[in-house]
Amino acid sequence: MIEERKAQSKPGYAMLLVLFLAQLAGTASIVFIHGPFVLKGVEVLFTGFVFVLWFGFFMVNPNEGRVLQLFGRYVGTEKSTGLHWANPLYSKKKVSLRVHNFESSQLKVNDLMGNPIEIAAVIVWKVVDTAEAIFEVDDYKEYVAIQSEAAIRNMATSFAYDDHGAGEISLRGNNNEIAEILKKEVQDRLGKAGVEVIEARISHLAYAPEIASAMLQRQQASAIVAARQQIVDGAVGMVELALQKLQEKQVVELDDERKAVMVSNLLVVLCGDKATQPVINTGTLYN
């Protein structure tokens, strides 16, 4: 595995001054100094050599790296911002170190329970090792896209869309936990490409159209059951409190049968989903 190392480049402005003086001296010697043919040849060669050295300058912008190669051999990476100079024979490939966003397409997969779902995610990443990004994979941007979608598919099949009260991690109910799991899944795949995953979050999550209607009814039924359970719990507490207050203040003496009737009536009033109609009993409970 090729690891990134710093390139041995020269400060650009210092080399600019040196080459300018050398070019000026070489040109002046050709024009003003007369001598043997051999000397003239040396002066011309020197001036031409200095001219070639001018092609060694390159600029590094903020959050950018330049990967230097000499005839296919990796020489190093320059990340320092500004003007630099290196061997003119070096190839200098630009690599962006900025933060990138990748949003996957909507993928159709089966969750842990076998239900078809649609899922998409946003991956925030950046290059941290330019040598691995350039030499370990063919195209690191395409590699990020393909491996990210593969990680999303694998993660989606490992969890259920909804826990349905089971208390387990689900895609819909545990956003932060799923985001951390997805980040680790993507990072494990992209580490060999010199890429660091900053954040990974689900951007779209839904049941597939063919089962969306049935699952919506199931969610509605679960919500109704949960609401009814809460209503019943509250009603029982209110009935218990009412009986306790009647007994403490000795408003009326109730036997077990009258308590049962009272509890029944109160539960009907408190738990019913429609307004109740009062009924006046002109007789007694036993008539």
What tens digit of pLDDT does each residue of 240-276 get? 777 777 667 666 666 666 667 666 766 666 566 655 5
Residue 216 pLDDT level (bands cut at 50, 70, 90): low
| Positions of CATH 3.30.479.30 in the chain | 100-207
Q: What angle do helix axes 12-32 and 37-53 make, rounded to 10 degrees?
A: 160
In percent, how much of the chain has pLDDT > 90? 41
- 100-207: CATH homologous superfamily? Band 7 domain (3.30.479.30)
Please give the C-alpha separations between residue 97 and each of 120, 128, 129, in angstroms, as whole numbers.
25, 7, 9
Contact between 13 and 147 (Cβ < 8 Å): no
Contact between 118 and 206 (Cβ < 8 Å): yes
Lowest mean pLDDT among 6-10, 195-199, 262-266: 262-266
